[in-house]
Chains A and B, each alone.
Chain A
Amino acid sequence: MDIKKVAVIGAGVMGASIAAHITNAGVPVYLLDIVPKDAKSRNAIAETAIKKLLEAEPAPLMHKNNARLITPGNVEDHLNWLADVDWVIEAVLEDLQIKQSLYQKLAAVCRDDCLISSNTSTLPLALLTQGLPKSFTQRFMITHFFNPPRYMRLLELVAGPDTRPELVEMVNRFADIRLGKDCVTCKDTPGFIGNRIGVYWLQCGLLEAMDRHLGIEQADAVMTPFGIPKTGIFGLLDLVGLDLIPHILKGMELALPKADAFHQVNRLPERVANMIKEGYTGRKGKGGFYRLNKTNGERVKEAIDLETGSYHPAEKPKTDDLHESVGAIAKSPLQALLSGSGPASLYAWQVWSRTLSYASGLVPEIADDIVAVDTAMREGFNWKYGPFELLDQIDVAWFVDRLRAENREVPPLLAVKQPMYQVSSGQLTFAGLSGNYQPVRRAEGVLLLSDEKLRQPAVLVNPSASLWDIGDGVACLEFHSKMNTLDMDTMTLIRQSIDKVSNEFAALVIHNDGENFSAGANLTLLMQAIHNSDWTAVEQLLLQGQQTFKALKFAPFPVVGAPSGLALGGGCEILLHCDAIQAHAELYIGLVEVGVGLVPAWGGCKEYLRRWLKLPKRPGGPIPPIVKAFETIGMAKVSKSAMEAKELLFLAHTDGISMNKSRLLADAKAKALALSQDYRPPEPSVYAMPGETTRVLLSMGVKALHLLGKATEYDVEVGGKLAYVLSGGHDADITSPLTEGDILALEREAFVQLVQQPGTLARLDHMLKTGKPLRN
């Protein structure tokens, strides 16, 4: 069974964004809501929701055109549409009566093999299906998405005792492969996994900070070392909306058994109640724990004083101020942080000791094993580590000893004081309830570099990159420097890998499981050369990169790039030299060199231009491909998804997109193996370039933008050099085609001229200091 059409009932933010994400998989969706009173259109709610999807940031749609796959409707006139859908997702108000009356209507129109699921975040399945016939309950389950659905990878699945397994499997596969979700099977308990632990953690964090009179900036800052996103606790509550807190607490209070530790943190502080009353509900309201205040035209981030309720400019606490250094005696930085006697350390200990104990006590009540819990917290709350991974980092024995020293209860799961995870004969295992370790199982077809790295030592390794054997004759080149930037070590390892793969492997995949594929070239070496005015060294840096990427392109084996996240500058250039790309759907790729006053000079101009020149459906003549390349590189355009990357031609139409990051490496490996059959390296390209006329044309365009205030004075300079490279240089003529080497020489020439200019130096300095481009 395959899901070809979906309906979402309820066009609130969540329902609409779920619909949007389903269109990201290329699947059409009906989006229905009630008929509003006195509206011009009976579909007004869904229609407005679709309009909002197009404007929302971060974008719920991977491409604006996807919105056309959503058909707006209403539940009075269009329920008959549901007769041809394979999956109906209910995302209406959390009101049992409303939901149940809708289910009865759905049961009447939907096909027998259509799965109906609820996106409820609090109501248990047993309650939702109470009194409904088996003909309904056997095709009903809970599929709980996290907000925003395009970006949060967690999907909690709760099936009832009657739910037909093949329907659960159908949704599981679709959500995994087509929607890119990490599906976690949950027990039918209140709040499932994510919200059960998450709400407890947030309440602990909120109440402890109030009780201890700790500033919210300090409270949020001390969460970061634990792998919590920089919003911390208070920033996250602002994002969720303070007005929702009482509702969530009420829901949990009613649903959870009296003995549950939740009831000890179930308290809405008066301060928060007042904030809600006065409209300080968070980012959607007048502000929340934090607010942006405009004074004298400048936006200042302010933080609330929990005691007085007044706002002050938010402080930026340094980690050193947060705790006393006891690193020498601690086993890990987190243990050191928790051992400190400063207020932030004491706060962190209280929040984490309670949260981790709570989580440890919930297995197997809410999930079969700790792996499910860790996955849920990572993918649903963007924690870098799940609670049990955190326990390992802190050290379980130390944690338990301290609980005992404080006369606190120790959860049975932790009592034996053994690590939660362990690697045994190259296989990651986790602590089961009986104390035995069991292998961590991945879904069928999932291949993770992190698992492969446990199996065996690296084939090649240096500080910036490694080469791994990922089986079946395929090698994987991994970057692992800071932000995966490319430096001379990376280049060395690539060249060594080319020799190694030529002799011992059939194909190469370039991939890493970091958040970002690569932030580009490491600028430190370049800055040194510039400060020494050593232009020969600059040219050498360029030559190294150009020659390495050229060797990769013409190597006797296929190379498949498998990027996810950012692939900028040099990170984009290496991908442009690959035979093929298998990209994660969340790919943010671009040649952004002009932002630091440079032009791409590791073959980026050459390869990107080639993509436009070779595009069969482009308008004729020599100018349009150059103009297209110039626009993309000149404006440092970065794709907001892999779909957009195809439109920008960073990806070819034959390149693949994997929705699920966990399947990216397997998909790339399959592509590499397919290419390795009778592989022949590409022929070098020739470039028939019109030369000077195009440089004049492009320069005219940049000057017009300058007059319009859309390009700065130095943009005109950098744009001129880029135009020089992309037009083929001064001497080019359409009748005498250039070689790849000619274009590479032009890249170097323009680059070396630009680095000698103060404008470029200012841009480089600014980028290294602030991480943001300078508009000079």
Chain B
Amino acid sequence: MKNVVIAGYCRSPFTPAHKGRLIKVRPDDLAAQVVKGLIEKTGVNPHDIEDLILGCAFPEGEQGLNVARLIVNLADLPISVAGMTVNRFCGSSMQSIHIAAGAIQLNAGSAFICAGVESMTRIPMGGYNYMPNPALYEKLPEAYISMGDTAENLARQYDISRADQESFALLSQQKASEAQQQGRFADEIIPINTPDSDLVDQDGCIRTDTNMEAMAQLPPAFQTNGSVTAGTSSPLTDGAAAVLVCSEEYADAHGLDKLARIRSIAVSGCAPEIMGIGPVGASIKALQRAGLELDDIDIVELNEAFAAQSLAVLKALPVPLHKLNLDGGAIALGHPLGASGARITGKAASLLKRENKRYALATQCIGGGQGIATILEAI
């Protein structure tokens, strides 16, 4: 079978929904600017691209109508490039990478743009017309459970204190802050032009000056007696991310910069009321498929939907903190649902190279009760 590689990664700045500097940018325009940036940065010949596969968790309104195809047009890609929008909620754009990898191995194309986008400002979480199935709600109300409640469930089930959540969130903020100050995001961020002629090139969610005292003041965000606060949850975020996925042969033939090879992938289901534990099942499958042990993994990008959720995963998958989310996670950077999978997979690939390590795991939890994981190896 063909080797599949990640040969480029970039993203927009991630900024807070409703108040950040990207609120006026349509998600299709946002993603198109990132895709253009990726083409420029990698030097890939756009005519060689088989498909643009784009993840989006609420693909309607300005990010509806198979927006992937429209982004092909907006990004001035050749008309021959196809476009497909993928929805696996938070796992959407990691899934787009998995689809490309499968296609390459089936010899159904050699270069794919795998992207993701979410404007949580312009399209509300849940979409405009949330229409649950009444019979399913009767049978399994948890199928529609709110994400905050799942985090509370995990905090209770795994006995995770509020203070532990806050320490975890603070660490994420500190790592992200330091990375930002040292310019470690500069090579992954594509500056975004906005309709009001702003050029946004910095992340906007990171809270550099937060501390344990400030976080302890926050009220519970979902349940009066709960322990999860806005400080220990990933913020609503606007953002887009993209990676170039191609066969290793193609990358070599065209002199592309290979970041990492895809070693194995997996998805799995779990109970929806503890959806945050999803990475455990998916990661174990992916490790088995890769023939690796958890200890073999040097770099882990675990999407931080909530601190309680991340800590619950770490109890079952004991990853040492020095391997985890080196430049901070979603609690600090933000979590534009459809874009996060491409970000953490691209990030894990580039970290393997930067840190000169061998194996990386990127994994996410998914609303409704799922996990998704990708194992990468250095080239």
Contact = CB atoms under 8 A, between A and B. Distances in A.
Interface of A: 619-624, 690, 692-697, 700, 704, 707-709
A728 to B, nearest CB: 13
B102 to A, nearest CB: 34
Contacts of A700: 132, 137, 144, 146
A621 B137 CA distance: 21
A707 B61 CA distance: 31
A693 B134 contact: yes
B131 A693 contact: yes
5 closest A-B pairs by beta carbon, nearest first, are A709-B224, A621-B129, A692-B134, A623-B129, A693-B131
Contacts of B134: 692-693, 695-696
A696 B146 CA distance: 13
Given A621-B129, A693-B132, A696-B132, 5 more contacts: A621-B128, A623-B128, A693-B133, A707-B224, A707-B226
Given A700-B144, A707-B224, A708-B223, A624 B131 contact: no
Nearest to A624: B128
29 contacts: A619-B61, A620-B128, A620-B129, A621-B129, A622-B129, A623-B128, A623-B130, A623-B131, A624-B129, A690-B131, A692-B134, A693-B133, A694-B131, A696-B132, A697-B130, A697-B132, A700-B132, A700-B137, A700-B146, A704-B146, A704-B149, A704-B222, A707-B149, A707-B222, A707-B224, A707-B226, A708-B221, A708-B224, A709-B224
A694 B137 CA distance: 12
Interface string B130-153: 111110010000001010010000
A707 B129 contact: no
A711 to B, nearest CB: 11
B269 interface: no
A708 B222 contact: yes
Contacts of B20: none
Nearest to A618: B128
Main secondary structure of the interface of A (DSSP, over half): helix
Nearest to B221: A708
Interface in B41-89: 61
Interface in B108-131: 128-131
A708 B129 contact: no
Interface string B223-259: 1101000000000000000000000000000000000
B104 to A, nearest CB: 38
A539 to B, nearest CB: 27
Interface string B185-229: 000000000000000000000000000000000001111101000
A387 to B, nearest CB: 53
B126 to A, nearest CB: 9
A696 B133 CA distance: 8
Nearest to A694: B131
Contacts of A690: 131
A485 to B, nearest CB: 37
A693 B220 CA distance: 29
Contacts of B220: 708
A343 B249 CA distance: 105
Contacts of A624: 128-129
A41 B137 CA distance: 57
A707 to B, nearest CB: 4
* Residue of B131, B133, B224 with most chain A CB atoms under a 10 A cut-off: B131
Contacts of A695: 134
A623 B124 CA distance: 13
Contacts of B128: 619-621, 623-624
Contacts of A623: 128-131
A622 B127 CA distance: 12
Contacts of B132: 693, 696-697, 700
A198 B226 CA distance: 56
A695 B130 CA distance: 11
A709 B132 CA distance: 24
Contacts of A709: 224
A624 B126 CA distance: 12
Nearest to B152: A707
A694 B129 CA distance: 9
B247 to A, nearest CB: 42
A692 B221 CA distance: 28
Contacts of B223: 707-708
A177 B148 CA distance: 52
A697 B222 contact: no
Interface in B132-188: 132-134, 137, 144, 146, 149
A697 B124 CA distance: 15
B186 to A, nearest CB: 33
A282 to B, nearest CB: 34
Contacts of A621: 128-129
B156 to A, nearest CB: 13
Nearest to A622: B129
B219 to A, nearest CB: 9
A692 B136 CA distance: 12
A621 B58 CA distance: 15
Contacts of B61: 619
B169 to A, nearest CB: 20
Contacts of B146: 700, 704
A718 B110 CA distance: 59
Nearest to B131: A693
* Residue of A619, A620, A696, A708 with most chain B CB atoms under a 10 A cut-off: A696
Contacts of B137: 696, 700
B224 A697 contact: no
A707 B222 CA distance: 7
B125 to A, nearest CB: 13
Contacts of A692: 134
A693 B138 CA distance: 11
Contacts of A708: 220-224
Contacts of B129: 620-624
A618 to B, nearest CB: 10
A704 B148 CA distance: 10
A757 B20 CA distance: 47
B119 to A, nearest CB: 15
A697 B149 contact: no
A690 B222 CA distance: 28
Interface string B24-44: 000000000000000000000
* Residue of B61, B134, B149, B226 with most chain A CB atoms under a 10 A cut-off: B134
A707 B152 CA distance: 11
Nearest to A626: B129
Contacts of A694: 131
Contacts of A704: 146, 149, 222
A690 B129 CA distance: 10
Contacts of A697: 130-132
A367 B157 CA distance: 79
B213 to A, nearest CB: 24
A614 B192 CA distance: 38
A695 B146 CA distance: 16
Contacts of B144: 696, 700
A700 B223 CA distance: 14
A694 B226 CA distance: 27
Contacts of B226: 707
* Residue of B132, B220, B226 with most chain A CB atoms under a 10 A cut-off: B132
A776 B136 CA distance: 30
Nearest to B126: A697
A10 B61 CA distance: 48
A144 B132 CA distance: 60
Nearest to A710: B224
A690 B221 CA distance: 30
A622 B129 CA distance: 7
A692 B131 CA distance: 9
B216 to A, nearest CB: 19
B93 to A, nearest CB: 25
Contacts of A620: 128-129
Nearest to B133: A693
A699 to B, nearest CB: 9
B122 to A, nearest CB: 11
A231 B221 CA distance: 41
